[in-house]
Amino acid sequence: MAESSIISNTANLEKYLRLPQKGKFIAEYVWIDGSNGLRSKCKTLDKLPENVSELPEWNFDGSSTGQAPGNNSDVYLRPVAMYPDPFRLGDNILVMCETYMSDGKPNAYNFRHDAAIVLNAHKDQEFWFGLEQEYTLLDSQGWPYGWPKNGFPAPQGPYYCGVGTGKVFCRDIVEAHYKACMYANIEISGTNAEVMPAQWEYQVGPCPGMEMGDQLWMSRFLLHRVAEEFGAKVTFAPKPIPGDWNGAGLHTNVSTKETRAEGGMKAIEAAMEKLAARQKEHMEVYGEDNQLRMTGRHETSSFDKFSWGVANRGSSVRIPRAVAADGKGYFEDRRPASNGDPYQITGIMCETMCGKVEG
Ligand code: ADP
Ligand code: MN
Ligand code: MN
Ligand code: MN
Ligand code: MN
């Protein structure tokens, strides 16, 4: 089969991965490009940094990633978080970066910059976030993995948390990604097969403040990278297949010092009032094509109107039943689409609950 020869051969690679590095280290610098995708390039280090602040700034050609014009193409990479590299192993690292222009201003697609301003200003609130990342695996032709070539599988029902041939597809990728996240110190908290065949979910969190965005973006990088080895494509599109097929979200679980404290329901109710007043602003940063997903069907709510309820999966925000019973805890914003930017989502959540901060 001609196609399999272009798929990477990790068994062969194994012997080279074991070669000694003669005291040097490899750092894979990862950043977000101009179309909500990820890019990376790597660099040899003579010394292993103990802290991310010791890592050198770097740069790339922003005209090749849709992030800068050709006549001023240098975009700078500033390391913000580092993780053990599950692919190269040893002391090699993955480095999450922010992007900046030569005048020192953040790149147009650097949404972390603004999120950090508001989340750091309200650090005393001790925000925790937990994200449920849904996604779909596609074959090299772009059709959901395991689906009949020119048709559709049997209707949804047996696939959610399914087990067995014909009910789940690409479990190997999911398992490999889970272990890769753990190795990289990503706070992956679980995974499950989703309602549409070849659709999956994993959860990251709870993570404090800015760590949420960094970890989720790195977990997405790991997913693309693992799937690449298996010859599958990952799509974060919120409605990959039109019609009676499940969409994909990024449910955002939120708590603060106050919502977690005794009587925290009061703080949750106050947050609901504030969220209701800013429906439009939130939907603007909750992912592209989200209106295709938020049809009011398949456990989604209205795109235009805010609602909340205990244990209600058809409302914008769901208060888990156990939280209502305890009178404290967290809430789940079910509106964000699977392709939403976690920096923008956590940033606007903090802004709406605690107030704007001039940056
Ligand atoms: P669902 O029932 O909606 O499918 P999941 O089990 O998939 O829920 O995800 C629940 C998420 O809630 C996890 O990502 C977890 O990290 C997060 N979470 C749990 N407790 C808190 C908390 N106190 N604050 C913020 N997030 C939390
Ligand atoms: Mn070059
Ligand atoms: Mn879930
Ligand atoms: Mn789900
Ligand atoms: Mn959920």
Residue 261 has pLDDT above 60, yes or no: yes
Statement: residue 341 has pLDDT above 80? yes
Q: Could you tell me the distance, in angstroms and rounded to a whole number, from the CA of residue 248 to the centre of ligand 4?
A: 8
- Ligand nearest, relative to CA of residue 74: 2
How many CA atoms lie less than 13 Å away from 202 in the CB half-sphere? 25
Q: For residue 67, how far is its CA from the centre of ligand 2 (angstroms)?
A: 17
d(CA 40, ligand 2 centre) in Å: 14
Binding-site residues, ligand 1, Cβ < 6 A: 128-130, 132, 189-190, 203, 205-206, 251, 253-255, 260, 329-330, 332
pLDDT tens digits for range 217-256: 999 999 999 999 999 999 999 999 999 999 999 999 999 9
What pLDDT is stored for residue 135 in this prediction? 98
**Peptide linkage before 144 cis (omega within 30 of 0):** no
pLDDT at residue number 300: 87
Whole-number Å distance, alpha carbon 216 to ligand 3 midpoint, is 15
Ligand with smallest separation from the Cα of 200 = 4
* Residue 149, number of CB atoms within 10 A of its CB: 7
349 C-alpha vs ligand 4 centroid, how far in Å? Answer: 20
> Around ion ligand 3, which residues have CB less than 5 A away?
132
Q: How many CA atoms lie within 13 A of 17 on its CB side?
A: 14
Nearest CA to ligand 1 atom 4: 132
Q: Which residues surround ligand 4, an ion (CB under 5 A)?
A: 201
Residues 6+ apart with CB under 8 A from 4: 231
Ligand 1 atom showing the smallest separation from residue 206 Cα = 16
Protein residue closest via CA to atom 17 of ligand 1: 130
Instruction: Categorise residue 320: left if φ over 0, alpha if ψ from -120 to 50, beta otherwise.
Output: beta
- The owner of tokens 């014009």 is 69
pLDDT digits over 273-295, tens only?
999 999 999 999 999 999 999 98
Q: Give pLDDT, residue 8.
A: 66
Q: State the ligand closest to the CA atom of 60.
A: 2
Residues ≥6 apart with Cβ < 8 Å to 355: 122
Condensed to tens digits (0 to 9), the pLDDT of residues 189-202 reads 999 999 999 999 99
Closest ligand relative to 131 C-alpha: 1
At a CB cut-off of 8 Å and minimum separation 6, what does 123 contact? 209
* Residue 203 CA, closest ligand 1 atom number: 14
Ligand 1 center to 130 CA (angstroms): 5
Alpha-carbon span 265 to 327, nearest angstrom: 5
Q: What is the pLDDT of residues 41-58, one digit of tens each?
A: 999 999 999 999 999 999
CB neighbours of residue 39 within 10 Å: 18
25 contact partners, CB below 8 Å, separation of at least 6 = 44, 45, 46, 47, 48, 90, 91, 92, 93
Residue 358: pLDDT band by 50, 70, 90 thresholds?
confident
Tracing tokens 């032709």 back to the chain, one arrives at 141
Percent over 70 (pLDDT), the chain: 98
Of 12-21, 313-322, 339-348, give the lowest mean pLDDT range.
Answer: 12-21
pLDDT at 72: 85
In the chain, at which residue ranges do the beta strands (DSSP E only) sit? Answer: 25-32, 38-45, 58-61, 74-84, 93-100, 128-138, 188-193, 199-208, 233-235, 250-255, 308-310, 317-319, 331-333
Prediction ipTM score: 0.98
Q: Any bridge partners for residue 310, and if so which?
A: 319
Cα(172) to ligand 3 centroid in Å equals 20
Q: Which of 127, 129, 132, 191 should be mutated for ligand 1, with most atoms under 8 A from CB?
A: 132
**What atom in ligand 1 is closest to the CA of residue 187?**
16
Assess whether pLDDT exceeds 50 at residue 161: yes
Q: What is the pLDDT of residue 6?
A: 54
pLDDT above 50: residue 1: no
The tens digit of pLDDT for each residue in 294-323 reads 988 888 899 999 999 999 999 999 999 999
Among 203, 258, 333, residue to substitute to test ligand 1 (most atoms within 8 Å of Cβ): 203
pLDDT at 4 over 50: no
CA dihedral in degrees (255, 256, 260, 261; nearest 10)?
Answer: -160
Ligand nearest to the CA of 330: 1
200 C-alpha vs ligand 5 centroid, how far in Å? 13
